[in-house]
Structure 1
Amino acid sequence: MEKLSFVIPCYGSETTIEIVVNEIRETLKQRPEYDYEIILVNDCSPDRVWPRIRALALADSHITGIDLAKNFGQHAALMAGYRHCTGDLIISLDDDGQTPACELFTLVDKMKEGWDVVYASYAHKMHSGFRNFGTWMNERMTESLIGKPKGLRVTSYFIMRRFIADEILRYENAYPYIEGLIFRATRNIANVPVTHHERMVGESGYTFSKLLALWFNGFTAFSVKPLRIATFCGSACACIGFLYGIYVVIRKLVDSSIEMGWSSIIASIFFLGGLILIMLGMIGEYIGRIYISINNAPQYTIRQVVTADSSCDKPMF
């Protein structure tokens, strides 16, 4: 019997997580030949979602609840869930009901065509304009920096085979980025269309600062192209400065009456100084990530794992 594992990071979903779990249960009744488990990871949510998760886990042997000690982010929460799941196919989805659990077999059936990973795609996303812009920016970043195939739509609702999850779990450093880890493991990836639902309650937990941190994490952890871009920009500015210097000298020799102004010098200093600081900041991001990795900073810390049989503390990863 093939087993499905559902991994759901939970943040601010006190009123929605039980609805999502029930939707999964009802949908699975259509295909009783599949065994399943649901891994609910509380990413230190400020509401009372953990008591809800704990009650669900204690009442159903198919559900495991994981409580993280602090907020590590969606991708770290997914890594925690992947380390505890045992299914042949792993499905990741959101806790707010926008990713339609009722269409999970659309993804499962697409996998039967031989794909390693299948992402849900939406004809019309029910996110805010800000979130849609963030998604667009993330698409462009992953295409140009970490090799996402053009035309592939990446979403938080996807299914992958067991061996892809095992390859992802080989990454043990801080700041995991799931898309980068997937693209590093395979290019045998497809999309399948599903319907995107309205958010049940509240607003997305992704602020501008969190999206920016996610983008920085993606390109500093899985690509050296930003460093190459910095080298190219520095070389281009050096060439422009050299040519401009030749132009100024020739102009002065041709017409000695021309007074050289300080405004152009100040503008050049500001431009070059800002460019240098940006490049140094970029290099600093890479060095900082190296330093954090060397110091074995954890991807996440688990406070407690709860199942129907028992609840016990788990070690830090």
Structure 2
Amino acid sequence: MKISFVIPCYRSEKTLPVVVGEIKEKMQSMSNYDYEIVLVNDYSPDNTFGVIRQLCSENKNIIGINHAKNFGQHAALMAGFHFTTGDIVVCLDDDGQTPANEVDKLIEKIEEGYDAVYAEYEHKQHSGFRNWGSHLNKKMTEVMLGKPKELYVSSYFAVRRFIVEEMLNYTGAYPYVIGLVLRSTKNICNVTVNHRERMEGTSGYNLKKLLALWMNGFTSFSILPLRIASYSGSIIAFIGFIYAIYVIIRKIVDPTRMLGWSSTISVILILGGLILLVLGLIGEYVGRIFISINNSPQYVIRNVINYDAGDDSKN
């Protein structure tokens, strides 16, 4: 059997050789498996692609992919999937926090019959902001995508080949790998691994990128936000109807009583805000549909190294 490692790379010129070296060392002890490593440079501003080029020249089992601009981690994974040939595909980070030397734990679970295996961390070494974002992402996937509460999803996971093939059938402009896995199989489990401190730099996920990632999950794989908006509108309309009846009855009982302008303005502001929120949500869906029907690409590849039986002519 063959294992394909896919690693999205961004600002990892110093950590990437360590991660690749750890994979190579681990695979020497797993001699019953062949392997390949697909490194996807997501338009990193440092010398990450230069390091990838050097690694590819040293090992023909390493494929280097260079994006023409930054498309994000999930688009980089999708790009890497297109170049994999393994029976099992393992995805991990480029910063060394996900222990490549524990990949055998994920593979063992795949061998037991699971379609997908996610690494679960006993003690996470992320920052407080990143942990907060992970918690919100966990809740979002549970509500919007139907993820089981007991399942922990992370960036370190292994899937069978048919899951990758199913994910590649998705050609939308906004890929969300977790959603693609969850819609492909329910035969998923967790395995506990160590989580290390970051060797270099800080996380590339800021608030803007986290919001964009969540929006992908909201709008690409679920219509639940639209349903929530419809339910909210119905509830507000019902409350408004009841309040109108109350005002009419109160006016009949006491004709001299004046209506309060402050309460009227408050109701107008609440309803106006809700309408704008729903319109914005609908606009987000329509905008993404428009971008998708215009065949906006998930990613654009500038060049590839070591692909097609070692042919470097694409470089």
When the two structures are superposed, what TM-score results if normalisation uses the length of structure 1? 0.97
CA deviations over 1:266-316 (Å, ceiling 9, x no partner): 1111111111111011111110111011000001000000118333449xx
Counterpart Cα distance in 1 of 2:70 and 2:272: 36
Q: Given that residues 126 and 196 in structure 1 are in contact (C-alpha distance below 8 angstroms), is that contact kept between their aligned partners in structure 2?
A: yes
Q: Does 1:153 align with 2:167?
A: no
Opposite residue 186 of structure 1, the aligned amino acid is T
- Using a 3 Å threshold, how does the CA distance of structure 1 residues 33 and 255 change in structure 2: closer, same or farther? same
How do 1:241-256 and structure 2 match up within 5 A? 241-256=240-255
Residue in 1 that maps onto 2:299: 300
Q: Does 1:42 align with 2:44?
A: no
Q: Given that residues 302 and 313 in structure 1 are in contact (C-alpha distance below 8 angstroms), is that contact kept between their aligned partners in structure 2?
A: no
Residue in 2 that maps onto 1:202: 201
Counterpart Cα distance in 1 of 2:84 and 2:167: 13
Counterpart Cα distance in 2 of 1:250 and 1:201: 68
Residue in 2 that maps onto 1:83: 82
Residue in 2 that maps onto 1:140: 139
Q: How big is the shift at 1:147?
A: 1.3
CA deviations over 1:203-232 (Å, ceiling 9, x no partner): 100000100010011110000111111100
Opposite residue 92 of structure 2, the aligned amino acid is L
Counterpart Cα distance in 2 of 1:302 and 1:144: 34
Q: How big is the shift at 1:170?
A: 0.4
Q: How big is the shift at 1:265?
A: 1.1
Counterpart Cα distance in 2 of 1:31 and 1:231: 54
Q: Does 1:60 align with 2:54?
A: no
| Runs of 4+, deviation exceeding 2 Å | 308-314
Residue in 2 that maps onto 1:30: 29
Q: Given that residues 175 and 299 in structure 1 are in contact (C-alpha distance below 8 angstroms), is that contact kept between their aligned partners in structure 2?
A: yes
Residue in 1 that maps onto 2:125: 126
Task: Please list every run of 5 or more consecutive structure 2 residues that lacks an aligned counterpart in the other structure.
Answer: none
Opposite residue 258 of structure 2, the aligned amino acid is E
Residue in 1 that maps onto 2:177: 178
Percent identical residues: 58
Q: Given that residues 67 and 304 in structure 1 are in contact (C-alpha distance below 8 angstroms), is that contact kept between their aligned partners in structure 2?
A: yes
Task: Please list every run of 5 or more consecutive structure 1 residues that lacks an aligned counterpart in the other structure.
Answer: none
Q: How big is the shift at 1:182?
A: 0.6
CA deviations over 1:36-56 (Å, ceiling 9, x no partner): 000000000111100000110
Aligned residues: 313
Q: How big is the shift at 1:96?
A: 0.2
How do 1:196-235 and structure 2 match up within 5 A? 196-235=195-234
Opposite residue 147 of structure 1, the aligned amino acid is G
Secondary structure of the residue aligned to 1:112 is helix
Q: How big is the shift at 1:110?
A: 1.4
Q: How big is the shift at 1:258?
A: 1.9
Q: How big is the shift at 1:149?
A: 1.5
Counterpart Cα distance in 1 of 2:152 and 2:210: 17
Q: Calculate the aligned-residue CA RMSD, in Å.
A: 1.0
Opposite residue 59 of structure 1, the aligned amino acid is E
Secondary structure of the residue aligned to 1:97 is coil
When the two structures are superposed, what TM-score results if normalisation uses the length of structure 2? 0.98
- Using a 3 Å threshold, how does the CA distance of structure 1 residues 107 and 240 change in structure 2: closer, same or farther? same
Q: Does 1:163 align with 2:162?
A: yes
Opposite residue 93 of structure 1, the aligned amino acid is L
